[in-house]
Amino acid sequence: MYVAVKGGERAIDAAHAWLDRSRRGPVDQPVLDTAQIRDQMGLAVTRVMAEGSLYDPDLAALAIKQACGDLIEAIFLIRAYRTTLPRFGASIPIDTAAMRLKRRVSATFKDAPGGQILGPTFDYTHRLLDFRLMADGELPTEPLAEGGETESAATPHVLSFLNRDGLIEDAAPDETPPADLTREPMELPADRTLRLQALARGDEGFLLGLAYSTQRGYARNHAFVGELRIGMVAVEMDIPELGFAIEIGEIEVTECETVNQFKGSRSEPAQFTRGYGLTFGQTERKALAMALVDRALRWEELGEEDQGAPAQDQEFVLSHCDNIQATGFLEHIKLPHYVDFQAELELVRRLRAGLSDQDEDAA
C-alpha cells in the first residue's frame, strides 16, 4: 500500500549538518578566522555591509564565513539580523566634505584644491595573476607613500567650484525628513531620497547593468565623474539629554557625484546636472552605478523625454533592485507547488480532451 512521504523534519536536520561540514572543509586545514575575512577580504565585507544596510565589519565577516562566501546569502543574514536591532534614532547627516580621504579622483578637472589621491585602487594594476600571493603573501617592499589618509582638514567637493558659476544645478539642502524605506512600505512614485535609499542597498550587479545600459544609449545621460571620494567620516548624533550632537563613531563611505550634460528643457535652463551615489565602505563600482542610475531616474523632474529605457522606469528599478527580495522570490520556485501543478495538469488534460472532441466533431 502507498504511504505518503514523511520525514521532512529529519531531512532538514541532516541537510543542515551536511552544510556545516561542507563549510568547514577538510579538517587538516586551519579554520578560517573571521578577523582574517574582515581584514583580508575587505571589499567583500564592505559589499555585505552596503547591501545589508548595516555597518559592522565583524558581523559582515561572520556572515561571509557562515554563507561560505556566497555574498547575497551573507547580505541576507545581515538583513535578517538587522531587523531585530532596536532603533535609537537617526544620526545628523554625515559631512562628506570633512572626510578623511584615502582616495579622491575627479575626471572633470586636472587638478583641484585638495588634489587627486589614487589610494588603494585596482585601476592601474595589470590584471595578471600574481602567483606570489599563492606562495606567501608578503607585504610589498615599496614603503607606504607619505601621508596616507589625509588629516581631517576639510576638502571641498569638486562640484562646488562649478556651483559658484551657476553652471551646475543647485543642490540646496532639503530639510524635510526623508522617508525610511526600512520602516514604511515603499510608496510609488518615490521621491529622490527614497530612491537613493533603495539604490544604496540595491544589488551591485543589477545597478551595474542598468548604469551600463544608460552608457550604451538606453537613456544616455552623458556622465562624467565629477568626483569620487573614499574615506572615513564621523557619525554624530543629537543627544536630547545633552542638548548637542556628539560623535558616536566613524564609518568608511564611498561618495560619487557625476556631472551630467544637460541641454535644458522647457522648464530648466541649460546647465550641468548631478547624479549621486553614496555607499558604505570602499564600494566604488556600486557608488558609480548608483550615481548614473540616480541621474537616469531624474528625467521627469528635469523635464527630459521618457525614452522608455529600463533605467528611467522607477517602478521597474526600485521593485527589482533588492537582491534579497529577488533571490527569495526566484528561489521559492524550488518549494513544492504540486497543488497548483495538479490544478494545471487537470486543466491541461481537460482542454486537450475538449480539443480532441472538437477534432472529432470536425471530422
Distance in Å, CB of 340 to another protein, minimum: 4
Whole-number Cα distances in Å, 200 to 57, 176, 342 = 17, 19, 42
DSSP code string of 140-208: PSSPPPSSSSPPS-----THHHHHHTT-B-------SPPP-TTTS---SS--HHHHHHHHHTS-HHHHH
State the cell numbers at 254: 564611498
Which of the stretches 27-35, 83-91, 105-113, 281-289 binds another protein when contact is defined by CB under 8 A?
83-91
Instruction: Tell me the three state secondary structure of residue 355.
Output: helix
> Does residue 164 belong to the site contacting another protein (CB under 8 A)?
no
Tell how strand 100-105 and strand 244-260 pair up.
unpaired
Query: Total residues contacting another protein (rule CB under 8 A)?
Result: 52
> Does residue 92 belong to the site contacting another protein (CB under 8 A)?
no
Residue 16's identity, in one-letter code, is H
Residue 262-291 contact track with another protein, rule CB under 8 A, x = bound:
----xx------------------------
Residue 216-255 contact track with another protein, rule CB under 8 A, x = bound:
----------------------------------------
> Does residue 343 belong to the site contacting another protein (CB under 8 A)?
yes
Q: How far is 325 from 310, CA to CA, in rounded Å?
A: 19
User: Are the C-beta atoms of residues 199 and 320 closer than 8 Å to each other?
Assistant: no
Q: List the one residue from 27, 144, 339, 362 that touches another protein (CB under 8 A).
A: 339
Q: List the one residue from 95, 247, 300, 346 that touches another protein (CB under 8 A).
A: 346
174-208 in b/e burial notation, b at 16+ Cβ within 10 A?
A: eeeeeeebeeeeeeeebeeebbbbbbbbbbbebbb
Contacts of another protein in 319-338 (CB under 8 A): 319, 324-325, 327-332, 335-338
Q: How far is CA 231 from the centre of its chain?
A: 17
Question: Considering beta carbons, is residue 261 or 325 the nearer one to another protein?
Answer: 325
Contacts of another protein in 23-82 (CB under 8 A): 76, 79-80, 82
> Does residue 183 belong to the site contacting another protein (CB under 8 A)?
yes
Residues that bind another protein (CB under 8 A): 1-2, 4-9, 11-12, 76, 79-80, 82-84, 86, 182-189, 266-267, 315, 319, 324-325, 327-332, 335-340, 342-347, 350-351, 354
